[in-house]
Structure 1
């Protein structure tokens, strides 16, 4: 998939679609579109309303976009046919975070804002799942299945205005999160510029754009629906797993 993204040629793909055999979508199992990107980059607290609901003493830093970004483990990626598996940790809440995924198409270093959108291959739905607590963020967000991405990649040329994309998340049919990319604190070009100022971006790298207000616990048996206008939608089951227990989680979450 990384080679496909790096060498993408729409005319060749459309010719294959026109001439090759096809199967109904209902007959295939979709995996996460990019299973092993070079990295998954995530921007925290990137909507003002979410900052206010978190109230963790870093409000002024977050509001300037000065928090920067963090990395999630590639092994946390899962797809639209996979459940979100809650770890066997007692006394901790696990929360959903509705986000847009940016998939890098053309890599580079020190990419300027003016050129940033030219480096995007496409967009997908992403759920950033987190166990709440004071441990390092990367640890709390990197359990297996804690980064569903899919159901496919909608290529950048199919999105008229990436600064005006509506997204929402429902749990058991009830709306939990609703926002638009126009409300981002660090916008999409700046995310690419900031990340590439630190490290080289490669084709297939995934950037999670941050979550809006409305994060809340998910529990065994819940059904999560994420939908992003023009991009796609996923329905994910929430199940309780048997792995993940460790004494590090035994202390109180706060």
Structure 2
């Protein structure tokens, strides 16, 4: 099941939908626009039956997409979690997971523009599989990792590379280079766990105006999802709707104004966003 959050018009309220037979089934009457909360209250089987009993009433191309999570307290991002990406960055593969955060205010939806602020002239794409946390999670052993997961989505970890490299050179935090508004496009949907039986065997690709720039497989992660959930929840509470962006693959490259990015995770979805550079 693929659950999304949309508006029928830019000023309309957000409503929950499910993708079915090429169209969107409205779930607005179920009382929430939060797919994670609805999965928790209804359960996957009951909600799947509810979706199957309804007819699609909306066209994907005619709606405005919001991020697929209604409540997100933090976006946990993993750096250098693919060997080839570490090598292209001139960095060593870390012995432990390397975490940084994006603020929830960086989230934006499918088909929304990514707007680079005037202070940067070098923007880069980073396609990633994101885990959507489904329950309050703390100190969860790696072997029980699935208990924490509501589903998966696609994230494009946008980075103002010029600003990041300056701060790396100064040996100061570089979170701001990744935390601007619209720098965490996500979606289009939350793919529930039944749609992704093995998240460690998914092809990732990113295209810019039809040119493939990134391609690899999640099986190439240095630290897999069980380890990441165990590590992140060790002393830190993961909340429903939080995202874990599991790291990008090799092929990062600069973008220019007007470029259209297509970030795809096999079995999860294709996230499309166009780049806009803001003038000073």
Say yes or no: TM over 0.5: yes
1:134 to 137, 161, 166: 166
Match of 1:89 in 2: 119
- Do 2:128 and 2:154's aligned partners in 1 also have CA atoms closer than 8 Å? yes
1:151 to 164, 188, 210: 188
The answer to whether 1:196 aligns with 2:233 is: yes
**Structure 1: segments with no counterpart, 5+ residues:** 246-254
The answer to whether 1:179 aligns with 2:219 is: no
Q: Classify the secondary structure of the residue corresponding to 1:193.
A: helix
Count how many residue pairs are aligned between Structure 1 and Structure 2: 237
The answer to whether 1:71 aligns with 2:96 is: no
- Do 2:97 and 2:228's aligned partners in 1 also have CA atoms closer than 8 Å? no
Inter-partner Cα distance in structure 2 for 1:220 and 1:35: 29
Inter-partner Cα distance in structure 2 for 1:5 and 1:71: 26
Cα displacement string for residues 28-68 of structure 1 (whole angstroms, at most 9, x for unaligned residues): 22211114302110000110011111115xx1xx332x252
- Do 1:73 and 1:138's aligned partners in 2 also have CA atoms closer than 8 Å? no
- Do 2:81 and 2:97's aligned partners in 1 also have CA atoms closer than 8 Å? no
- Do 2:71 and 2:240's aligned partners in 1 also have CA atoms closer than 8 Å? no
The answer to whether 1:7 aligns with 2:37 is: no
Q: Structure 2 matches for 1:53-72, cutoff 5 A?
A: 53-56=88-91, 59=92, 62-64=93-95, 66-72=96-102
Cα displacement string for residues 59-102 of structure 1 (whole angstroms, at most 9, x for unaligned residues): 1xx332x2521111110000002111111125x41111110010
- Do 1:31 and 1:81's aligned partners in 2 also have CA atoms closer than 8 Å? no
Q: Structure 2 matches for 1:1-254, cutoff 5 A?
A: 1=34, 2-20=36-54, 22-23=56-57, 24-56=59-91, 59=92, 62-64=93-95, 66-89=96-119, 92-132=121-161, 133-135=165-167, 136-242=173-279
Q: 1:22 to 1:126 in 2, by over 3 A?
A: same
Q: Which structure carries more relative contact order (alpha carbon 8 Å, separation 6+)? A: 1
- Residue 186 of structure 1 deviates from its aligned partner by 1.0
Q: 1:105 to 1:48 in 2, by over 3 A?
A: same
Q: Classify the secondary structure of the residue corresponding to 2:255.
A: coil
- Residue 190 of structure 1 deviates from its aligned partner by 0.7
**Structure 2: segments with no counterpart, 5+ residues:** 1-33, 168-172
Q: 1:22 to 1:215 in 2, by over 3 A?
A: same
Cα displacement string for residues 74-132 of structure 1 (whole angstroms, at most 9, x for unaligned residues): 10000002111111125x41111110010011222111110002211111111001112
Inter-partner Cα distance in structure 2 for 1:218 and 1:193: 35
Inter-partner Cα distance in structure 2 for 1:157 and 1:21: 21
Q: Classify the secondary structure of the residue corresponding to 2:262.
A: strand
Q: Classify the secondary structure of the residue corresponding to 1:63.
A: coil
- Do 2:97 and 2:223's aligned partners in 1 also have CA atoms closer than 8 Å? no
- Residue 21 of structure 1 deviates from its aligned partner by 5.6
